[in-house]
Amino acid sequence: MRIFLKKVKYIIWSVFYAYGIFQITQIIYYNIAERDVLMATVLNMVLIIILVVSEKVEFYILRLFQEKGERGNPSLKKKIIMWYLDGPSFKSAMYFFYLVFIVYTAVMAADATIFADIPRSYIQSVQYGPLFLIAADKFAGQITKDMDNS
């Protein structure tokens, strides 16, 4: 039962993070890029790079905490950090966001009147995100693997 509850918690937090990523891409598109598709696309790619790199940093911090250990009761700061690191990563949430996005665009392609409230230019600014996320994630994984082997 405990494992089931942990998975449910993980999924709920992933959905919450994915919604946050959706909001961030909206802020990038509407507020920062001011509806400029090229600028929004570039900034979304920067966001992906930041989140992929931040995941590597999270794993490094987690390893430090696990190696260092703490005698007695851990500090509140450490408890909060460990609680955060125990949950889903933002990269996992990005994969979930782009999975939903791909389904959304497929349904929209079949019947464009279903989701008419999101502008096509916003969709254009996000459409290469899944491909870029996969490439950036694989590249970061390969760099980590190469560094571990050397």
Cβ-count burial of 56 within 10 angstroms (0-12 exposed, 13-18 middle, 19+ buried)? middle
d(C-alpha 139, C-alpha 144), whole Å: 9
pLDDT at residue number 70 = 55
pLDDT at residue number 26 = 96
Quick one: which of 104, 133, 143 has its CA closest to 45? 133
Phi-psi region of 69 (alpha: psi -120 to 50; beta: other; left: phi over 0): left
Q: What separation, in Å, do the N-terminal and C-terminal C-alpha atoms of the chain show?
A: 42
Residue type at position 63: R
**Total number of domains in the chain:** 1
Supply 4's token pair: 């089931």
pTM of the model: 0.83
Show the beta-strand stretches assigned E in the chain: none
pLDDT at residue number 69 = 62
- Count how many Cα atoms sit within 13 Å of the Cα of residue 105 in the half-sphere of its side chain: 17
pLDDT at residue number 10 = 86
Which range marks the domain in which residue 79 is found? 2-149
Question: How open is the CA angle 27-11-51, to the nearest 5 degrees?
Answer: 40
Per-residue pLDDT of the chain (150 residues; tens, 9 = 90+): 888 888 888 889 889 999 999 999 999 999 999 999 999 999 999 999 999 998 888 777 777 776 666 555 667 767 666 666 677 888 889 999 999 999 988 888 888 777 677 888 999 999 999 999 999 999 998 998 888 887
What H or E segment, with its residue span, contains residue 103? Answer: helix 90-110
pLDDT at residue number 108 = 84
